[in-house]
Amino acid sequence: MGLTSIYTVLILLFGYTVNGYILSNKQGKGPTCSDIKIITRAQWGARAPKSTENLTLPVPEFFIHHTDTPECFDLKACSAAVRGIQKFHMDYRGWVDIGYNFLVGEDGFVYEGRGWTHVGSHTKGYNSQSLGTSVIGDYMKKNPNKKALDALRGLIHCAEVNNMLYPNYRLYGHRDANNNTDCPGDTLYKLIQTWPHYSHVPPQTLLFEKYNMSARN
């Protein structure tokens, strides 16, 4: 077997390529999500966090954001966008890392931020009881493309089936927790209100004992 054939077999067994990048289907901490492709921190070129705080799983809430930046449509551009967001969050806002647990690009990939197991800085007052994911782009007047929406729904489904979320979790847009923001954009916000688990009841800091803990059993 020639080198090219061996290389092809290895790619089929352990990963795949996009624009010259070798992407592994294996992830770090967290579940295996067969419906989505997660680009790890190492793959998009993340800086090391200044510190981390463990997130107690499962959580009762999932918040959707938009980055209010230009959209990206391929791995190279989206990786650069995520690096820029991390730089802004760490160097200008003074946070310990990029704020989101995950980000989604219009290339259809999910980009690992703080990941499943670390508390994010995405929704003030709710970070320790939620996962926060931001779609890269501005969605005030349009929705993300199908690739991005499929990836976002796939990520939520992955969290559901792997017990990262309570079975009776609540889905929100960022503005549901903060009246001073239009995040995740008017059009995307309208869309997610039609999705399962979207809650018209405003989020609140919840005592875990009061959040129907029997649903986990």
Tokens of 139: 């969605």
Task: List per-residue pLDDT tens for the chain, 217 residues long.
Answer: 554 444 433 333 334 344 433 333 344 456 778 889 999 999 999 999 999 999 999 999 999 999 999 999 999 999 999 999 999 999 999 999 999 999 999 999 999 999 999 999 999 999 999 999 999 999 999 999 999 999 999 999 999 999 999 999 999 999 999 989 999 999 999 999 999 999 999 997 654 434 443 333 2
Burial 9-39 (b: 16+ CB within 10 A, else e): eeeeeeeeebeeeebeeebeebeebeebbbb
Closest CA to 85 of 67, 71, 73: 67
E strands along 125-208, which residues?
Answer: 130-135, 165-173
For residue 131, give every residue at least 6 positions away whose Cβ sits within 8 Å of its Cβ, in sequence order, or none: 55, 59, 61, 62, 63, 101, 102, 116, 120, 159, 164, 165
CA distances 101 to 4, 9, 87, 90, 185, Å, are 37, 33, 15, 15, 19
Tell me if the pTM is above 0.85: no
Q: What is the pLDDT of residue 211?
A: 43
Q: Which domains does the chain have, with CATH numbers?
A: 25-216 (3.40.80.10)
Question: Torsion over CA of 50, 56, 58 and 62, rounded to 10 degrees?
Answer: -50
